[in-house]
Structure 1
Amino acid sequence: MNLKVSDIANFLNLTYVGNGEKIIKKLSSLDSCDSDSIVFIEKIENIKNEIKPGCVISKNDERIIRMFDSVILSDNPKLSFSKLLAFVEKDNQMKYAPHVSESSHISGSAKISPTAFIGNFVTVEDGAEIMDDAVIESGCYIGKNSRIGERTRIYPGVVIRENVSIGRGCIIHSNSVIGSDGFGYVFDQGKHIKVPQAGGVIIGDDVEIGASVAIDRATIDFTVIGNGTKIDNLVHIAHNVKIGSNCLILAQVGISGSTVIEDGVIIAGQAGLSDHIRIKAGTIVMPQSGVIGNLEGNRVVFGTPARDRGEFMRIQAAMTKLPEMYKYFMKKIKNEG
């Protein structure tokens, strides 16, 4: 990277204040920046120490403008920085020309686009379809009658079981399993009898699935992940769950069977959701919360059982006073005795 501040601003379709001739050689974090760096600042409070980057992308804040020689003005500094990062890093990304590795096993009834990339030791079963510009990296398994959409990229070691449909422009990271059997059993005569898991999974367009995620197939019908939803590492989504569009599911979340999550929901790390409940649109579930019932939309909930965040914080504040209250009542009981 060797760009003038003015060139960067033009690429981002933004205006700048200060020295437009300054040469920027790298993108950096606030902690590692120097005079050759460009960084982004969303709030002045994020500046913990004295820093001297070559350029800053920030909102139109006079305090920030006075602090630095070159400032590119953006309503969304993080988004602008991300666009620049994508532009700079595109030359470092591996390029995938159309290719099918000789070490892969492709069923005679599978359909592989002539523009797709199939890496080493990939298995593609009967009736599977790999669409235009899809990338299937080494060691992946694509099950019977599954479909991988256009421009979708699947990293090494992913298992896509049978009857799974994955949309366009998706990213699936290593060691995830899509379409594993749902956890369904019926107790009879002292034994847990397995319920056949005969359904499938539908993943929409522009979905990203992190590493070591398990998404179970439906018992009947489909487990569904909506367009634009992003799923972090180590998440479990049980059978017949339906997740809407543009949701964020963070690391180590567990979602039990047949739960419905509407559009735009955020579920923070290590939260757990019970089965057969509905989380309405716009809800935020805070970390480590336990959701055992339906939630109305556009709420922020916390705790176990999950409740309004404000109520949860008041309860926590009251609990800190319990030792003092205990001492008071024990003393009162003793004196009255």
Structure 2
Amino acid sequence: MSRLFAPLTLRGVTFPNRVWAAPMCQYSSVDGHPTDWHLVHLGGIARGGAGAVIAEATAVRPDGRISPQDAGIWSDAHATDYARITAFIRGQGSVPGIQLAHAGRKASTFAPWLGRGSVPQTEGGWPTVAPSAVAFDGYATPVSLTVEEIQALLRDWSAAARHAADAGFDVIEIHAAHGYLIHEFLSPLSNLRTDAYGGDLTGRSRLLLEVVDTVRAAIPDRLPLVVRVSATDWVEGGLTVDEVAEVASVLAGRGVDLVDVSSGGNDAGQQITLGPGYQVPFAHAVRSRSGLPVGAVGLITEPGQAEKILAEESADVILLGRALLREPSWPQRAARELGAALDWPRQYRAGIPRG
């Protein structure tokens, strides 16, 4: 039996298979609200057979968006707009998920097709915040958060988590990767604080643990909680996989059900060694050290490759990004190649390959 198409149960949610759509920013929201694009984009991937579809980095407050065109879920109105999308995803037999985020010093930037760097306030941008007043290369210098402001942010995370559950999302992911706010706190390259939120790994991971506790308390116990991490900064003196594995061991006792293992994004000087499945060893290390289920992502493009990762117990789920942009029905093709059963929507069954 194919491991890729075996079900997985986390808490009260059963995922029909181990092919999950990773969160991918679409830069197509209006004041944080999803549009028809999101319905078609996320719904199309669900239609293609993914076991879970995780919506893009979705800001817990307006100034936490990556760009003015990014998604948000800081109000009841946002939750209402997402409800039709989660209903459609669920109707395709998939599990709707959302990634809750704050972009920190990498907020208020241009959408990729509009340019690079910080959006001036005169053009709709806003001041950014971070653990320390250290700019990301080419971006505006952020303001260092006070302890009181951090506590206010935790309230925003709690409210956003409740909105996400109300919108019908059945898995909640906390974004602690790719150089955004929580990753900025975790990394010694961007966190120069000397208070309880800085210094050693215990201090640098404090915000992540507080966000985890806050979100876990805000959502129903039946909903799985996932954390996406960058396992390394790919820079000497930066965050390491050993540190991330140590933090994951703590997360295992804080109500986290799976760690989604990525890497990089916090320093423009990163030197990434690219290759097929290049981040899989990080997932394996986090899984081995923490005992938590993990997701692997990064240049996983072929069904046999994904199947092997699971068979070698390097990961428990496979998250696909660009592969699903190119081919939203990738899971249907993979099932055929691996000899697994995967139901198609009845409207599309005339297209099932024969022979």
Give the number of the structure whose residues are more often strand, by fraction: 1
Same fold (TM over 0.5): no
Larger radius of gyration: 1
Give the number of the structure whose residues are more often helix, by fraction: 2
Q: Quick one: higher RCO (CA 8 Å, sep 6+), 1 or 2?
A: 2
Scaled by the length of structure 1, what TM-score is found?
A: 0.23
